[in-house]
C-alpha cells in the first residue's frame, strides 16, 4: 500500500480550502458530479465530488499533458493498484483497466464510447471530509509528476523537466448525456419531469398543426395508368392477326399459287374452257358464272 510521505503528513494541518470549479472543468467525471477543486498541480487536478446517491468521493484526474504521457499514466495506475481496496471506489480513462483493481474500472458510456479520442485517466477515492483527502490527492499528483524524487547518483548535466508541464489544462472528459449549459450539477427529478412534459406538449402541438393543415384538402384522384410498351404498340407491331392470315385476298401479298393479289387468274369453267377471275376485286367474270 502506498502511504503519504512525511512531507505530505506535515501539510495535513495546513490543507488549503477547496476552490470553485473553473469553466475548463467538466461537470462530471464518470458517475461523479464535481463540486469543488481540492488540489491543483501540473500533473492534474483533484476534486470533491458525489455520485447519484449522494455518496462523496475524491476524484483525481490527470492533466492534458500528463494524460498524453504513457509513463505518467502507468505511474498513476501503479499508485492506485497499491492503495487499499476500501480506498479505491472506481477508476477510468486510458490505461487504467489493468492491474490489481482492474475490476473497478468503469468504461465509457453512451456516444462517448464510440469516440476515437481516449478519456483522461482518473480515480475516485474514499472521501472522509478531513484533511486526509487533500493529503492523499496531493500525494498521487506529486508521485505522477516525480516532484519529490531526489537525484539518483551524482548530478551532472542539465536538469530534468517533463515536456508536458506547460500543458496543465484539465484532460479530456467525456460527459453523456450532456448537462445544462453553465451547470455543474445533475438535474433533479423536477427538471426531468418538466422536460418530458414540454416534449409531450410540443409533440401534441405538431400533431394539431398537421391535422389543421391537411383536414380541408380535397381528395386526390390517382393519375391514369401509364401504358406499357406492348399495349402502346397495339396493332402496329407488324404481326398479322388471325383474320388477316385467313383472308389472303386482303393482305396484298402474293397468293399461294404465286400470282399477285388483285390480278386475274385463269380457271376452268364447267365446259373445260379457261376463265379469268379476280381474287382481290371480289367480282366474277361473265365466263366464270357459266
- Quote the CA–CA distance of 90 and 103 in Å, as a whole number: 9
125: in domain? yes
Confidence (pTM): 0.56
108: in domain? yes
Structural domain total, the chain: 1
Mean pLDDT of the chain: 74
pLDDT above 90 (res 195): no
Question: Comparing 141 with 188, which gets the higher pLDDT?
Answer: 141
Predicted local confidence at residue 145, as pLDDT: 87
Per DSSP (E only), the strands in the chain are 28-29, 32-41, 44-50, 56-62, 88-92, 122-126, 264-268, 274-278
What's 122's domain CATH number?
3.30.200.20
117: in domain? yes
Query: How does pLDDT run across 270-290, given as a tens digit for each residue?
Result: 444 555 444 444 455 555 454
The residue range of the domain holding 80 is 26-148
Predicted local confidence at residue 147, as pLDDT: 81
Query: How does pLDDT run across 35-89, given as a tens digit for each residue?
Result: 899 988 888 999 999 988 888 999 999 988 888 889 999 999 999 999 998 999 9
126: in domain? yes
107: in domain? yes
pLDDT above 50 (res 151): yes
- pLDDT bracket for residue 245 (50, 70, 90): very low
142: in domain? yes
- Quote the CA–CA distance of 27 and 181 in Å, as a whole number: 10
262: in domain? no
Predicted local confidence at residue 110, as pLDDT: 59
185: in domain? no
Amino acid at each position: 500500500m502506498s502511504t503519504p510521505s512525511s512531507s505530505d503528513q506535515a501539510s495535513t494541518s495546513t490543507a488549503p480550502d477547496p476552490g470553485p470549479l473553473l469553466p475548463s472543468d467538466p461537470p462530471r467525471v464518470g458517475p461523479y458530479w464535481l463540486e469543488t477543486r481540492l488540489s491543483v498541480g501540473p500533473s492534474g487536478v483533484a476534486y470533491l465530488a458525489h455520485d447519484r446517491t449522494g455518496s462523496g468521493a475524491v476524484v483525481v484526474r490527470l492533466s492534458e499533458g500528463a494524460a498524453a504521457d504513457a509513463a505518467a499514466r502507468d505511474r498513476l495506475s501503479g499508485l492506485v493498484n497499491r492503495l487499499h481496496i476500501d480506498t479505491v471506489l472506481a477508476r477510468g480513462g486510458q490505461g487504467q483497466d489493468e492491474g490489481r483493481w482492474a475490476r473497478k474500472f468503469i468504461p465509457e458510456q453512451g456516444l462517448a464510447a464510440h469516440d476515437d479520442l481516449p478519456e483522461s485517466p482518473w480515480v475516485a477515492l474514499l472521501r472522509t471530509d478531513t484533511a486526509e483527502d487533500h493529503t492523499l490527492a496531493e500525494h498521487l499528483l506529486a508521485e505522477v509528476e516525480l516532484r519529490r524524487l531526489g537525484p539518483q547518483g551524482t548530478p551532472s548535466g542539465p536538469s530534468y523537466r517533463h515536456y508536458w508541464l506547460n500543458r496543465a489544462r484539465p484532460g479530456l472528459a467525456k460527459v453523456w448525456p450532456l448537462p445544462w449549459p453553465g451547470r455543474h450539477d445533475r438535474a433533479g427529478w423536477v427538471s426531468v419531469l418538466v422536460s418530458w412534459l414540454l416534449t409531450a406538449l410540443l409533440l401534441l402541438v405538431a400533431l394539431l398543426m398537421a391535422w389543421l393543415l391537411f383536414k380541408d384538402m380535397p381528395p386526390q384522384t390517382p393519375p391514369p395508368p401509364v401504358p406499357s410498351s406492348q399495349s402502346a404498340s397495339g396493332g402496329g407491331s407488324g404481326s398479322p392477326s388471325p383474320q388477316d392470315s385467313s383472308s389472303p385476298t386482303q393482305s396484298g401479298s402474293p397468293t399461294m399459287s404465286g400470282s399477285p393479289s388483285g390480278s386475274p387468274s385463269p380457271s376452268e369453267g364447267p365446259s373445260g374452257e379457261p376463265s379469268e377471275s379476280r381474287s382481290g376485286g371480289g367480282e366474277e367474270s361473265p365466263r366464270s358464272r357459266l
